[in-house]
Amino acid sequence: METVVINLHESESKGAQLPDDILKLLNEPNTEEQSKWIEVSHSSNLRTSHNYILKNYSMN
């Protein structure tokens, strides 16, 4: 199992949203891989600068 975390910063004040279709770009062809958005900072009250916490969170 492999976990890749991509740290994206979006401006809430501007309402920036990435479409779910962009997840298709993250999948490798002919595999059973899955991609999904995990909104970590706000739902978990974590700061994105806490890399070690984010790493542990992504591995669970």
For the segment 36-45, what is each residue's pLDDT rounded down to a tens digit? 666 655 555 5
Rounded Cα distance, 47 and 42, in Å: 8
Helix runs in the chain, H state only: 40-43, 51-58
pLDDT of residue 44: 57
Q: Which residues of the chain have pLDDT under 50?
A: none
- pLDDT of the residue at 30: 80
**Whole-number pLDDT of residue 11:** 59
Token output for 53: 């916490």
Q: What pTM, to 2 d.p., does this model score?
A: 0.27
pLDDT of residue 46: 55
Residue located via tokens 């309402």: 15
In the prediction, which pLDDT does 31 show?
Answer: 74
Written as one letter, the residue type at 5 is V
Cβ neighbours of residue 40 under 8 Å, at least 6 residues apart?
Answer: 46, 48, 54, 57
